[in-house]
Structure 1
Amino acid sequence: MKLDIIAGARPNFMKIAPIIEALEKVKDKIQYRLIHTGQHYDKKMSGSFFEELGIPDPDVNLEVGSGTQAEQTARIMERYEALLLKDMADYCLVVGDVTSTMACSIAAKKLGVHVIHVEGGIRSNDITMPEEINRMVTDAITDIFYTTSEVANENLRQLGHDESKIRYVGNTMIDTLLKNMPRLKQPTVFSELNLKEKGYFVMTLHRPANVDQEQKLKSLIDEIVKGAKGMPLIFPVHPRTAKMLEQIGIQADNLHMIGPLGYLEFNYLVKHAFAVVTDSGGITEETTVMKVPCMTLRDNTERPETITIGTNELVGTDPKNVAPFMKKLHSGDWKVGEIPNLWDGNTAHRIVEDLLKLV
């Protein structure tokens, strides 16, 4: 079997790392080619993750670089199609919901290559999110789904997908987290600010609904700063958000804006935090496994199990919603949470065991 593994952006890298590790053990049966589309191309968003997570250098880098959604999609499809025409694969394995996921799925399917979607079936039901469109398009042409939850399974059934295409295996991102827990690395900001265990917040913001309007972003951060009650707020700033923050000029004694962190340093901060405030989906999965309270500044989530089972709560995007959740957090009434089924560190093994049946 010839298998292409697609990775394009930071959220993909922690999902492919355990799959590649498991494939290395069966490379006499499954020949794989790692393709980096180049959707994320700077060191902090790409290169450092490969090094930290032990991902081998890509066999191919499509080097698509930056651009609009349409420009990136077009370049990825064009370059991946050219690669397939020169050296065809049997299967194309995509992960998550970034532009590279959708673009490579389309290019592969049109050439008769079977599409495998790791993390298939998740939905926010918010069509304004580019990621939701990527999920919908990818799932519409997927041949095999590897899913993270029973909710995702049911979504696929409701869409009319045959049960034989759905494999409930768990969450490869949690494989990576559990494997790397002993390797988490204290960032310099920890000692520089004299941070204490469970004595600070971690915050991440990058979604357009939160960061593209100056007044909205300012109001959100003001409410979070106030709700933190003087506790340090460590804010690794996404490049998108940095530009807006410069224009607003927000400052507070307990707000510490730092550059993007590598995987091991960021998750060290999360593991030892009092709580996390975020608009990311993936981080809510990691906080659930690490049993860290998490407030999600979104009106919907494609990972409802982090709320129904885990430590996450959906706060919404209205700044006025922040205060009640902060009060609950400080009062000690936050739910303990449990770890969802099959989020046990063995997902990649289950995926490769299933892939071997296709050989």
Structure 2
Amino acid sequence: MAADIAEQPEVYATLLEPAHAGAIAQVAKVIAERRPQHVVFTARGTSDHAALYAAYLTEIRLGLPAGLASPSAITVFGARPDLSHALVIGVSQSGGSPDLAEVLRVARESGALTLAVTNNPESVLAQTAELSVDVVAGHERAVAATKTYTAELMALLMLIEGVRAGDGVLPADEHAALAKLPELATRTLADTTATDLAARYRFAARMVTTGRGYAYPSAREAALKLMETSYLPALAFSGADLLHGPLAMTDPDVPVLAMVGAGLGGQAMREVLARLDERRADVVAVGPEAVPGAKALLNVPAVDERYAPLLEILPLQQLALSLALARGEDPDAPRGLKKVTATL
């Protein structure tokens, strides 16, 4: 897992190479020309969080309604929704889960434009879809996904911004900004704060993660990593949902990992932080600067909030890894889990 985490700056750089960026641009151009009226994502596990990030991008950057499909509606209940005006995107590291492939098959039969975003271009998911994007993360050693998750984020970001451009090609300023991410990721991973925090939370009974907007998928992914590797119950909430009830369970014994970026989503978290401070919650902020009431800061460089999820998840992966080791667990082989999970 440590090796996979360390390779993420290189994965970002690889996706920006002309051959790979050009392949994504070609797919984006086809989508722009087809002009879908709405976008439906289908995914499971970690990839579900990448899809959620892409749904935010789709609605904010493209102005198209977007949502996550419920595969069981098709695979278990036999529904056949009319997706003739939709772009349906399956997101999966392995591309091997039959339920996701079935969603894309049914969607394509109904007239949808279908796309697979996967780390395995030879997978059944990629073969089922009309279009395919390879996230080129390379072999991932650990069961808990790290570099394939951030590769999906990067590929989906490049794809959606390419669609927005119309011809699939990222504007020069966008490409220049993305080109800084490998170095920023390297700098973020060099900070040892996340590793140091593991000793503090070794005996935590549960954790809460929270964020708003683009950062909400990071909160969900962080919670999953903690559950996968440390078997630590971790509950993820949008900042808004946290105030609608779950806030009552927070107290000084419940650590809260709060994504507080530099953009509008981070600003929207300020009320949440104030309420957590009233509860004397043990808050760790994840972002570019210290925030009132937080006991610690996992520092992440200030970037456009669209890019922040590619950086803010990195120290959270390190925390999950270090916390698992501190609790005497093996983060490379979580009990009961396999690298590829097939569901229907």
The verdict on a shared fold, with TM-score over 0.5 as the criterion, is: no
Q: Normalising by structure 1, what TM-score?
A: 0.35
Compute the TM-score of the two structures, normalised by the length of structure 2.
0.36
Higher relative contact order (CA 8 A, sep 6+): 2
